[in-house]
Amino acid sequence: MLLVGLMSGLCLRGFWFNHEHCCWLSNETTFQERDRCPQWQSWAELITGKSEGPFAYIMNYLMYIFWALMFSFLAVILVRAFAPYACGSGIPEIKTILSGFIIRGYLGKWTLIIKTITLVLAVSSGLSLGKEGPLVHVACCCANILCHLFTKYRKNEAKRREVLSAAAAVGVSVAFGAPIGGVLFSLEEVSYYFPLKTLWRSFFAALVAAFTLRSINPFGNSRLVLFYVEFHTPWHLVELAPFILLGIFGGLWGALFIKANIAWCRLRKTTCLGHYPVTEVLVVAALTALLAYPNSYTRMSGSELISELFNDCSLLDSSQLCGYKQVNTGVDNSLADRPAGPGLYTALWQLALALVFKMMITVITFGMKVPSGLFIPSMAVGAIAGRLLGVGMEQLAYYNHDSVIFKGWCSQGADCITPGLYAMVGAAACLGGVTRMTVSLVVIMFELTGGLEYIVPLMAATMTSKWVADAFGREGIYEAHIRLNGYPFLEPKEEFEHSSLAVDVMRPRRMDPALAVLTQEGMTVGEVESLVESTHFSGFPVVVSSESQRLVGFVLRRDLLISIDNARKRQDGIVSASQVVFTEHTPLLPPDAPPLLRLRCIMDLSPFTVTDHTPMDITVDIFRKLGLRQCLVTHNGRLLGIITKKDILKHMAQMANRDPDSILFN
């Protein structure tokens, strides 16, 4: 809030106050000029002593651009120098990690520190991005670091994933003040496997996070929710039609945004644009500041804009969006439907321009080398569209209250239409179109606003947006980025509909070299090291002998290298000619033979196996639900081959007539 305030001026009472908090403390603020108080001075007032006139406007304009460039430059430089993994949203990678793939360093302490700092800088720079997705990444970093303090979680990958699932719920709970929505978000969108015990643990973690957030009171309004709304008019059944229309808009926008953003990110990866991340961030920041400042609705932060659009006009409201002609007033401090005045028409033009600007600039902003979330920009697009439609419906009801549509429930002088409700429904529709969330999104929205009464319009718009967006492609923005980056991720929502068997997918194929294996006895340390150095596999099956190929177990490459290295340093007589054994008994050796190296302790004696005739739909389910990275294929106990997650993804790509080589971790 301090850095956002610096973009426009400085509080003389205390530099850490932003504009709103600074004027809250002033006794000289009026309702007509709620944004003006002597304690807050713009940069033009501080530098030139003048607050009005073209020179003051230009000075404020230049300072706005200067701070935008300064904050974005610091953010991208810190990310590039100290933690390259701190960029982006983080949710696609979290989904991939929870599916069983390890991205080393992605949840480390440096990523946590740099992402926390640069997220503040990136959001404060005025770029069209949000903080919600990155906060999920930050929460997962904290959880991963805490896991290393306890042996139970440090050595058990499955239990660590359960903690990360709970951390994702905590991230949304903190970002939105929506603990239940956070749990459902982790269940629906992030987690790969979500057993019942993880559900209630996630609920408890989200509860503690929400309680802590409420104790800190970061918004200064003694509320947990970010955008509290208090609409005075219930919605009518007739309004379902415009709500569904907003759902259609949200679905179309979501599909268009995903295609445009993926095309831009692919261009960034495949051209020289990707070699200059600092320049790209600075150019986009300069362009955003240059175009955003003249329009008051694009100049304000995303959260402030959404709060303004959700607002229901009251008698004492001086917002331009409440610039109606004074004809009739209702009761209970709410205003009846009235004709639009010049102030409202000006605001609508500005909102229409802001809608076009937000739709275009968000496409090129999401995916840059700074922390960037997508929740707030998507909600802002939908809220603008919803407010425009809401005002249109309000004016239609005012001038046509005797028509068939409005007759019987909207009489003259009544408060029938609430434009703020349309903004709220539009925000949910656009966010649903981009992410394809349904249940968790509706819960997040009513927790976010406190508008439990409007759950049916939210459900209608969200489902419509999902159906419309799915007609153009079933991938949400996070799944699209997973595929763009080539992460080995099996989408749990898709069904495997082909009749192939495990033997059709496993390696080695015909004409391929034989599978690299270790024998339980008979190999020397030198032979094992030579095998490891000549391959890039993450592990090796252990068999009885090269002739029988009876499966005994599985050894990870990393464990093998560490054990041999430690044995050479600490165990006397271990040389390249020493035999490596994975058996319990000690084989007979010649008297002059070097000592044995026993490695049975590092071998997995019960690796996951399937038979060669196991249907692939069952194999895919095993990989999804257990988060496997590889599975061995046997026939009557004899090792035939291995199936990795990448093999399955390549096979699925082939079945869908896509390039199988596109499934590569990049």
pLDDT score of 333 more than 50: no
Compute the average pLDDT of residues 8-23: 74
For residue 432, the model assigns a pLDDT of 95
Q: Which helix (H) or strand (E) holds 579?
A: strand 579-581
Q: Are 611 and 635 in contact (CB under 8 A)?
A: yes
pLDDT, one tens digit per residue, over 551-566 is: 999 999 999 999 998 9
DSSP state of 187: I
Give the mean pLDDT of 296-319: 83
Q: Is residue 40 part of a domain?
A: yes
- Do 290 and 406 lie in a common domain? yes
Same domain, 337 and 444: yes
Structure tokens at 348: 């609508």
pLDDT at 469 > cutoff 90: yes
> Around 653, how many Cα atoms within 13 Å sit in the side-chain half-sphere?
18
Structure tokens at 658: 């896509």
* Strand, coil or helix: 213: helix
On the question of pLDDT at 146 being above 60, the answer is: yes
Mean pLDDT over residues 175-196, rounded?
A: 87
pLDDT in tens, 97-118: 988 888 888 999 999 999 999 9
Classify residue 131: in a domain, yes or no.
Answer: no
pLDDT at 521: 87
Pair 364, 506 in one domain? no
Contact 145, 106 (CB under 8 A): no
Task: Summarize pLDDT for 524-554 with one digit per residue, the tens.
Answer: 889 999 999 988 888 999 999 888 889 999 9
Tens-digit pLDDT profile for residues 361-371: 999 999 999 99
Residue 72 lies in a domain: yes
- The answer to whether residue 329 scores a pLDDT higher than 90 is no
Q: What is the pTM of this model?
A: 0.86
**Among 16, 47, 82, residue at a domain's last position:** 82
Whether the predicted pLDDT of 340 surpasses 90:
no
Q: Specify whether 271 is located in the same domain as 393.
A: yes
- The whole-angstrom separation of Cα 601 and Cα 614 is 30
Distance CA 253, CA 248 (A): 9
Contact 424, 389 (CB under 8 A): no
Question: What is the CATH number for 590?
Answer: 3.10.580.20
Asked whether the CA dihedral 428, 429, 430, 436 is positive or negative, the reply is positive
> CA-based Rg of the chain, rounded to a whole angstrom?
30
Question: Is residue 217 assigned to a domain?
Answer: no
Is 453's pLDDT higher than 50? yes
Given this model, what pLDDT does residue 592 score?
A: 77
Residues 252 and 344 in one domain: yes
Domain end point (choices 55, 82, 109):
82
Answer whether residue 130 is part of any domain: no
Statement to judge: residues 525 and 467 lie in one domain: no
pLDDT band at 311 (very low <50, low <70, confident <90, very high): confident
- Beta carbons of 43 and 56 less than 8 angstroms apart: no
Task: Tell me whether the omega of the peptide bond preceding residue 195 falls within 30 degrees of 0, making it cis.
Answer: no
- Per 3-state DSSP, the chain is made up of helix, strand and coil in percentages (nearest 5) of 55, 10, 35
* Encoded amino acid at 556, one letter: L
- Judge whether 281 lies within some domain: yes
Please indicate, yes or no, whether residues 467 and 563 belong to a single structural domain of this protein: no
Average pLDDT, the chain: 86
CA dist 628 and 5 (Å) reads 48
Q: Which domain holds residue 428?
A: 237-477
Q: What is the dihedral of CA 529, 531, 533, 537, to 10 degrees?
A: -120
316: exposed, middle or buried (Cβ count in 10 Å: 0-12, 13-18, 19+): exposed
How far is the C-alpha of 245 from the C-alpha of 439, rounded, in Å?
Answer: 20
pLDDT cut 90: percent of the chain above it:
44
Number of other CB atoms surrounding residue 47 within 10 Å? 13
Quick one: pLDDT at residue 339?
Answer: 77
Distance of CA 4 to the CA centre of its chain: 23
Is 335 found in the same domain as 281? yes
Same domain, yes or no: 421 and 528: no
Q: Quick one: pLDDT at residue 395?
A: 86
Q: How far apart are CA 126 and CA 142, in angstroms?
A: 27
CATH of residue 372's domain is 1.10.3080.10
Decide if pLDDT at 397 tops 90.
no
Q: What is the number of residues in the chain?
A: 666
Question: Residue 314 has what DSSP assignment?
Answer: B
At residue 386 the predicted structure's pLDDT band, cuts being 50, 70 and 90, is very high
Domain boundary among 57, 82, 107: 82
Q: Is the pLDDT of residue 436 over 70?
A: yes
Are 520 and 542 in contact by the 8 Å Cβ rule? The answer is yes
pLDDT at 297: 93
Specify the pLDDT at position 28. Answer: 63
In a domain, 193, yes or no: no
Instruction: Please give the structure tokens belonging to residue 497.
Output: 């509909």
* pLDDT value of residue 315: 63
Choice between 299 and 661, residue whose per-residue pLDDT is larger: 299
Specify the number of domains making up the chain.
3
**Mean pLDDT computed over 380-396:** 93
Pairing of strands 523-524, 579-581: antiparallel
pLDDT given at position 365 = 94
Residue 218 lies in a domain: no
- Torsion-angle region of residue 100: left (phi > 0), alpha (psi -120 to 50) or beta? left
Instruction: State the Cα–Cα distance between residues 612 and 623, nearest whole angstrom.
Output: 16
pLDDT tier for residue 287 given thresholds of 50, 70 and 90: very high
Same domain, 278 and 245: yes
Give residue 335's pLDDT: 55
Of 4, 7, 64, 13, nearest to 38 by C-alpha is 13
Instruction: Indicate whether 452 and 528 sit together in one domain.
Output: no
pLDDT band with cut points at 50, 70 and 90 for residue 46: confident
**Is residue 276 predicted with pLDDT exceeding 50?**
yes
Determine contact, residues 250/429, Cβ cutoff 8 Å.
Answer: yes
Q: For residue 29, what pLDDT is reported?
A: 59
Please list the residues that pair with 554 across neighbouring strands.
541, 604
Q: 613 and 573 share a domain?
A: yes
For residue 415, give the nearest of 426, 401, 425 by alpha carbon. 401
Identify the pLDDT of residue 573: 80
